[in-house]
Chain A
């Protein structure tokens, strides 16, 4: 079947999509957007987190046909031209990236959190990122990155 949706602001079309195929597979293998990672395929790890109509979801658990006509934003869509999103910058600067496999999902989940809560406390951060597994960092640097991104966003608003 054919699936047409908006991905990162552009209309995208995929043909010969299998009916049981996931949105994640379509993004990675048919639309050339490998940012969202395929790890557990059961919603446990959060590495494939994307926005679907503005809500963060695991792309591996969305049937491709369910995305027909919907608006999808992947980690690739968070950058503005060549500029990284402030969340992405904070992850780089805080050393929150090791192997990098979990990073796209964590970046999207953090992006969503900071849209909803300008100054999340640590409990809120842990809760918001509870669906994203990282096996390298021990999470401390990731928490640092979220705090850094939140501080910078608050400074920008204040400044």
Chain B
């Protein structure tokens, strides 16, 4: 195994182009587990912790460009105001030790159906900035996940950043697990209200082969809120609307039975989380 340690972004891209089989590593919170248990023996490790550009974030025209190696601890400390949903999700990741190392870019690279950052990135229409020596492209997060732990990156590409629109309304994230820390989600749900567009965004995890949005649920709820003038009046929608929203979110899932929970439990959990998360977010909207 080779240990490749570029010290600039251009070098990192050159190395990835020459050694497309190299496994990128940043916080190591997924990659090192696989190495420690000999689940994977990559020909090379490509350490990205020496690339300063990746650890930075900046705001351009209402969108946060979050460098791929920005840690969860940084998101919580520095971006709770602009990216409240991602910050809530980040607080549920692992433990303080894990949040100090783990990165949103690494979460995307691992592409687990249970990735904690994925549901909210779907709900806000984030984009993954993928780069190689030949150029840069942006991939909508909804198109990024292609299967269990599979993503749309080419072998010569690295994740440079994720573009996350700054929140224009309340956002929420819920996750079911056996305890508060160190939990792989049994299932998870995120919601973002976009009052300026009169739209609701959703995302869920651990209830299909990939993290997914629930477009029919989004469409139903956005229409129901608009038809009754609730974005303007800020009144509470009828219970039947909120219940139907929960059902449509659960309908968008195709969960499996596994050691963490049954498909039926996951569907039920999604319904409940969708109702609750929307209610919390709507209550915040009413107060705002």
Contacts and interface: CB of A to CB of B under 8 A. Distances in A.
Interface stretch (B92-100, B124-132, B162-170): B92-100
B3 A1 contact: yes
Interface stretch (A26-34, A42-50, A85-93): A42-50
Interface stretch (B27-35, B81-89, B188-196): B27-35
B96 A56 contact: yes
Given A62-B32, A63-B3, A65-B5, A43 B97 contact: yes
B32 A22 contact: yes
Interface in A53-106: 55-58, 60-63, 65-66, 68
A132 B97 CA distance: 9
Given A19-B3, A41-B37, A130 B28 contact: no
Contact of A61 (B3, B28, B44, B96): B28
A128 interface: yes
B47 A63 contact: yes
B32 A63 contact: yes
Contact of B97 (A58, A63, A65): A58
Contacts of B31: 63
Nearest to B41: A20
Interface residues of A, number: 29
Most chain A CB within a 10 A radius of its CB, from B3, B97, B100, B181: B97
B1 interface: yes
Contacts of A20: 1, 35, 41, 45
Nearest to A1: B3
Interface in A1-55: 1, 18-20, 22, 41-44, 46, 49, 55
A17 B175 CA distance: 39
A18 B36 contact: no
B5 A57 contact: no
Contact of A58 (B25, B35, B98, B180): B98
B101 interface: yes
B2 interface: yes
B172 interface: no
Interface of B: 1-3, 5, 25, 27-29, 31-33, 35-37, 41, 44-45, 47, 49, 73, 94-98, 100-101, 180-182
Given A55-B73, A131-B95, 16 more contacts: A41-B37, A42-B33, A43-B94, A56-B97, A61-B29, A61-B32, A61-B98, A62-B32, A63-B3, A63-B25, A65-B5, A66-B25, A66-B49, A109-B97, A127-B181, A132-B95
